[in-house]
Amino acid sequence: MQLATLGGGCFWCLEAAFIQLAGINSVISGYAGGYTDNPDYTSVCSERTGHAEVVQVHFDPTLIDYHTLLEAFFAIHDPTTLNRQGNDVGTQYRSVIFTHDAEQATSANVLIAELTANQIWPEPIVTAVLPAPTFWPAEAYHQNYFANNPNQPYCQFVVGPKAAKLRQVFAHRLKK
């Protein structure tokens, strides 16, 4: 298993999308990139800790490679809005790739350069590529949030469409 740590808005959205892909063993919602230990949801949302909402994705590289995982990441969020995804605004919603080794950093930077050259978005990509800091798992009620709360309005109007977009774009990569 390998590890990817990604932030692209609400961690509920990322978790619900990534867990559908073949080769993904687990997705854990949490916090990374801040300057305090043991952050909690309230302090992260207050922007007092500097953390981003992220997911740690445990994946089997023989079934899904890191590049494909990053392609899915870029397909399900807007990497051109600084500290924002839709109506979710704040530094905790920043677009960030926390890399676990030099190979991941190179892969992320190469993909961002390719997406920029292909002008996929009309605005520049603002996704940061940084070495992985300490990851703090989020509170238990955030784990598997979409699966446990499918009728919650935020899940219906925000999380569900992102999970559906991943199913559409990566239909050939979904778990059986």
pLDDT digits (tens, 9 = 90+) for 19-54: 999 999 999 999 999 999 999 999 999 999 999 999
For residues 52-66, average pLDDT: 98
The pLDDT assigned to 175 comes to 96
Q: Are 84 and 62 in contact (CB under 8 A)?
A: no
Which CATH number do you get for residue 103? 3.30.1060.10
Catalytic residue among 10, 13, 45, 155: 10
Give the range of the structural domain holding residue 123, as residue numbers without chain letter.
Answer: 2-173
Q: Is 13 a catalytic residue?
A: no
Neighbours of 57 (CB within 10 A): 27
Total number of domains in the chain? 1
pLDDT (0 to 100) of residue 108:
98
Mean pLDDT of the 13-19 span? 97
101-120 pLDDT, tens digit per residue, is 999 999 999 999 999 999 99
Cβ neighbours for 112, distance < 8 A, ≥ 6 positions apart: 125, 127, 129
CA 65 – CA 104 distance, rounded (Å): 10
User: What is the average per-residue pLDDT within 74-89?
Assistant: 94
Q: Which residues of 92-125 are buried (b: 16+ CB within 10 A; e: fewer)?
A: bbbbbbbbeeeebbebbeebbeebeeeeeeeeeb
- Mean per-residue pLDDT over the chain, rounded: 96
**What would the mean pLDDT of 89-101 be, rounded to a whole number?**
97
As a whole number, mean pLDDT of residues 162-173 equals 95
pLDDT at res. 93: 97
With bands split at pLDDT 50, 70 and 90, how would you rate the model's confidence at 171? very high
What pLDDT sits at residue 83?
95
